[in-house]
Structure 1
Amino acid sequence: MTFCEEVRKETDLYWEGSFNHPFVRGIVDGSLPIEKFKYYILQDAYYLKHYTKILAIAASKADTNDEITYFLNSARFINEAELELHRTVFNELEVSEEEIEQFEPAPAAYNYVSHMYNAVHNGDVAEAFAAMFPCPWLYQEIGEKYKDAKPGVKLYEEWIAMYSNPEFKESVENQKAMMNRYAELHPEKVHIYKSHFLKSCYYEWKFWEMPWTLENWEQEVKEYGFV
């Protein structure tokens, strides 16, 4: 099996957990409360802002012109296209300037971003990519799995359409080929790639749990009765 085939099989627990998470299923059937989606979008905007920066750092560590071009183009695409989409969605969700100014990343979002910064700062470009790749790959599979869904909510239908776009699938297939090449070129680092990939799969699942529970920094302390 290729690296991607192996790691996809080894992390399937997290993928199935994402496919069947009530947050994702709520988008698919239209039952997700809009306040939970709003919470998710704010956290996702934070994530994407830092994902863009991580791509740029990865570009600085790349060895070939093709790699540099890929990471810089990806950073520009997310910055210009996806964040513009979020700004549009912010308007539809009536996100206020005060909410943006007072925004605080939830533990799951903060930890996920910190994990990727750790990979890109302390590892090479391939290690960074292994930590970044689960995000687009998972979203593409979610889009493919639920492409025929009709949630009846405009924002949710647009979300599904974005990730079920054939061009997005083509991009992910190219990224699979790149990740497989890294593993073939550096077999001695495959265990590191797998470790980063697995952690990101876990944090992807946590990213659904986060808006579903409206996670905050005091939540677990209160749940365990420490205060």
Structure 2
Amino acid sequence: MSKLPAPPADGFCARAWANTADLQQAIVEHPFNAALTDGTLDRDRFAFYIVQDARYLVGFAQTLAAAAARADNAEDAAFLAGAAQGALIEERRLHAGYVAEFGLSDTEIAGIDTSPSCLAYTSYLRANALTEPYPVLLAAILPCFWVYQHVGTTILEATGGAGDHPYQAWIQTYADDEFAEAVLAARDLTDRVAKSMDAEMQQRMLQAFTRATEYEWLFWNSAWIKEEWPTAGFLK
């Protein structure tokens, strides 16, 4: 397990994390993550989450690819493109394992609607990719890296790395050294780009980071309540 070093105190990331500190704590303490930590999270909720997350990752990967196309240098483009590939391949491999474990058929998966929160979050990221400047896009992408690493390492610390934990594979994915390196790279890239921006652009970046972090909370909550469309009853 890798605990991330604190970001430079004078950088954008330190300011963004401080601005969302209470929300970060609320995410860790959310009933979904509390139940995931102690192993009591029921499988229906986790299965719902896995289906939503697989769909979210498609939009996240598309957003990363868009950021890669707009990167200022080859090294940054390679990192963002590689992260897009990881979202589509490595993490979805974990999802496929859980789907097989739960015995979900393709028909059952197709019968689970994309939740309002999942659609809203992916739409928000895609909108940033289409309409916002590159620095703002980076800030909108960052919470998905950083929040998941924070949640994963916090849960791993709480469980002591118990090998018999029912969700150990998920926990380990977001608490391992390789993912921590990706988070550091995303954080360093965002800090480096923000450093050359004026106060107005940095404020826009902060707003994007904050909103994406709010969507992270909404995503966990939607899995906990197995969120449905409130309008479904009006449709045939």
CA drift of 1:177 comes to 1.0
Output the amino acid matched with 1:31. T
The aligned counterpart of 2:171 is: 160
The aligned counterpart of 1:18 is: 27
The aligned counterpart of 1:182 is: 193
CA drift of 1:147 comes to 1.4
Q: Work out which of the residue numbers 228, 231, 234 in structure 2 matches 1:216.
A: 228
Q: Provide the TM-score with structure 1 as the length reference.
A: 0.91
CA drift of 1:219 comes to 7.5
Residues in 2 aligned to 1:191 and 1:90: alpha-carbon distance in whole angstroms: 41
CA drift of 1:170 comes to 2.0
Q: 1:8 aligned to 2:20?
A: no
Task: Provide closer, same or farther for how the CA distance between residues 127 and 221 of structure 1 changes in structure 2, counting only shifts above 3 A.
Answer: farther
Name the SS for the 1:146 alignment partner: helix
Question: Any conservation in 2 of the 1:119–1:131 contact (CA below 8 Å)?
Answer: yes
Q: Work out which of the residue numbers 29, 45, 48 in structure 2 matches 1:36.
A: 45
Residues in 2 aligned to 1:151 and 1:23: alpha-carbon distance in whole angstroms: 20
Identical amino acids, percent of aligned pairs: 28
- Written as runs of structure 1 = structure 2, the 5 A alignment for 1:62-81 is 62-81=71-90
RMSD between aligned residues? 1.9
CA drift of 1:166 comes to 1.9
Q: How many residues align?
A: 221
The aligned counterpart of 1:171 is: 182
- Written as runs of structure 1 = structure 2, the 5 A alignment for 1:51-130 is 51-130=60-139
Q: What's the CA shift string for 1:84-123, capped at 9, x where partnerless?
A: 2211221011111102333421011111111111111001
Structure 2 gap ranges (5+): 1-9
Question: Any conservation in 1 of the 2:59–2:125 contact (CA below 8 Å)?
Answer: no
Question: Any conservation in 2 of the 1:47–1:109 contact (CA below 8 Å)?
Answer: yes
Question: Any conservation in 1 of the 2:55–2:114 contact (CA below 8 Å)?
Answer: yes
Residues in 1 aligned to 2:219 and 2:87: alpha-carbon distance in whole angstroms: 19
Q: What's the CA shift string for 1:131-152, capped at 9, x where partnerless?
A: 1110110111112212131494
Residues in 2 aligned to 1:34 and 1:41: alpha-carbon distance in whole angstroms: 10
The aligned counterpart of 2:5 is: none
Name the SS for the 2:80 alignment partner: helix
The aligned counterpart of 2:208 is: 196
Residues in 1 aligned to 2:22 and 2:101: alpha-carbon distance in whole angstroms: 34
Residues in 2 aligned to 1:89 and 1:168: alpha-carbon distance in whole angstroms: 20
Q: Provide the TM-score with structure 2 as the length reference.
A: 0.88
Output the amino acid matched with 1:184. K
Runs of 4+ residues over 6 Å off in structure 1: 219-222
Task: Provide closer, same or farther for how the CA distance between residues 88 and 173 of structure 1 changes in structure 2, counting only shifts above 3 A.
Answer: same
Output the amino acid matched with 2:175. S
**Greater Cα shift, 59-68 or 202-211:** 59-68
**Greater Cα shift, 73-82 or 14-23:** 73-82
